[in-house]
Amino acid sequence: MKVKIVKGDITEIEADAIVNAANSYLEHGGGVALAIVKKGGYIIQKESREYVKKYGPVPVGGVAVTSAGKLKAKYVIHAVGPRYGLEGEDKLEEAIRNSIRKAEELRLTSIALPAISTGIYGYPYEICAMKMAKVIKEEYKNLKHLNMIIIALYSEEAYRIFVEILEREL
């Protein structure tokens, strides 16, 4: 199992699945979510609405899968992170864990994750990085298909904090 930390735009990454930092209604209005729909195409928003219509809103900590439209990835795994101050860190851990488990369930070999909840939802990068490290340490033994986890950080600051924490914790 390889863990790669990269600085840049997650929509450019070649991985079987990319994870979106979504809200429960899968309305992709800002941040990574908007970037994914802009580049992948409206099909991602359309399938997201169909999902919510069929199954209801995705709970905080939960995930939903759509196709990836024009992106290089095969799937988008929409993970609903918690809002800082409103929903707890346990939900951030759950969102990360469910993303990785879903990719494994789909028999994918690679997944790219953004720093879920650290933009519009306000979580500090440190908490997200610690949760990523914890989940990876706990899950990697159970992974048969997934052999590459890419963490994509948009800002220099996020990149620096994630490298420091993951190098220490993994």
Residues that bind ligand AR6 (CB under 6 A): 9-11, 21-23, 28-33, 35, 81, 114-121, 152, 154-155, 158
In whole angstroms, the minimum distance from the beta carbon of 18 to ligand AR6 comes to: 9
Nearer to ligand AR6, 92 or 108 (CB): 92
Nearer to ligand AR6, 120 or 127 (CB): 120
Q: Are 156 and 125 in contact (CB under 8 A)?
A: no
Q: Are 131 and 90 in contact (CB under 8 A)?
A: no
* DSSP 8-state class, residue 170: -
Alpha carbon distances (Å) from 148 to 71, 89, 123, 139, 170: 18, 24, 25, 13, 14
Measuring CA to CA, which residue among 140, 139, 9 is closest to residue 73?
Answer: 9
In whole angstroms, the minimum distance from the beta carbon of 66 to ligand AR6 comes to: 14
Q: What are phi and psi of 18, to 5 degrees?
A: -115, 145
Nearer to ligand AR6, 33 or 130 (CB): 33
Measuring CA to CA, which residue among 90, 20, 94, 104 is closest to residue 61?
Answer: 94
Nearer to ligand AR6, 16 or 121 (CB): 121
Q: Are 83 and 117 in contact (CB under 8 A)?
A: yes
In whole angstroms, the minimum distance from the beta carbon of 21 to ligand AR6 comes to: 3
In whole angstroms, the minimum distance from the beta carbon of 146 to ligand AR6 comes to: 20
In whole angstroms, the minimum distance from the beta carbon of 142 to ligand AR6 comes to: 25
Nearer to ligand AR6, 64 or 141 (CB): 64
